[in-house]
Amino acid sequence: MERQADADHGALTERFSLGGSGLTVAVKDCIDIAGHVTACGSAALRGRAPAARNADVVDSLLAAGCRIIGKAAMHELAFGMTGVNAAFGTPVNPRWPDRIPGGSSSGSAVAVAAGLCDFAVGTDTGGSVRQPAACCGLWGIKPSFGRISRRGATPAESSLDCIGAFARDGGMLVRAMEAMDPGFAPATPGAAPVLLQLDAGLPGIATAELPGLDAAFAAGMTLIAIETEAAFGHLLDAGAAIGPDIAARLAAAREIPAGKIAAAERIRAAFTAEVDALLERCDAIVTPALAGIPPTLAGARDPQSVLGLTRYQRPFNLSGHPAIVLPRPGPGGLPAGLQIIGRKGDDARLCAIAIRLAESLQTQTETA
């Protein structure tokens, strides 16, 4: 085991070789790999005992012949969106090194963007795969909630979190899904899938509305706070070495009243029904990947200032629908992208629709 050199952009906290000779993969450090410590990007957990067994998704990767190259860095306790980590180091965004890599799956995104591996595994509780994918110019998928087993992932209990993947193109994203999920079978989008867009600004695609989007964003913030405090509040009580931003958010979570939590669950049910109803009228919904341009590292000193970037992402953790981010240049060539949301359980077709949309946009760009 060795620490990663600066040449690797700080993407990995450990480097090793495990598995076959197939696709190379980095695995986020909140997912168990037998014999290795699952530190979750926190100095408070660095000294815990190594995992006794692999997470289910790791076993799936190994059964598919993948070679795991190491543990990927992350925002501490997966409770932040900048990717900045004082204890383990902040991965450097390869294409935009002055800007945040995104979080919390920062190292997984940087490992793929830097070409260190074919794809990487991350987790997404409120945009934590899709936001760093957009920040680093990658494809990223949050599958349908519960599609990929979370056994061996930290936190053990979550009503929002999904294991997902990063890749440099749509074809590799499909191969990542096949490796992570033995039941995944590639699909075709069918003839001319019907798309509706929300604020995406794409020509030729009809617009739609999701009136509950912002309420769902706020509800997702409430529930992630409650569930993260339930998982890690004991570290706060023990005076463990956790970052001040994380400590403040855990402490704030304890002040959330029960009525607000109950309201968040009502919003979850209403928004889920709203998305399901819209998807009865179309095959997929297209939104911006981000609600703005990722800030510079200097401009992201207040981690709370970055949370709004996930306005279009976090609501679909609440509803449990699968969502894919694909890269698309923003103003001045800065990172942006599109998000495509599909029906629950229809992950394979969603991948096919996203690939077709990307090809269509590329053709439009080349002929413009």
Active site residues: 28, 104, 128
CA 216/CA 225 separation, integer angstroms: 14
Q: Report which DSSP code applies to 4.
A: P
CA 114/CA 161 separation, integer angstroms: 26
Coil vs helix vs strand at 288: strand
CA 270/CA 119 separation, integer angstroms: 35
- In DSSP notation, 310-363 reads GTTTTHHHHH---EEEE----GGG-S--EEEE--TT-HHHHHHHHHHHHHHHHH
Helix 213-237 vs helix 244-253: crossing angle, to nearest 10: 110
Burial of 156 (0-12, 13-18, 19+ CB in 10 A): exposed
**With left for phi above 0 and alpha for psi between -120 and 50, is residue 250 left, alpha or beta?**
alpha
Strand 338-341 vs strand 162-167: parallel, antiparallel, or unpaired?
A: unpaired
Note the Cα 41 to chain centre separation in Å: 15
CA 170/CA 172 separation, integer angstroms: 5
Note the Cα 34 to chain centre separation in Å: 23
- In DSSP notation, 41-81 reads T-GGGTTSPPPSS--HHHHHHHHTT-EEEEEEP-SGGG--S
Q: 229, 315 in Cβ contact below 8 A? A: no
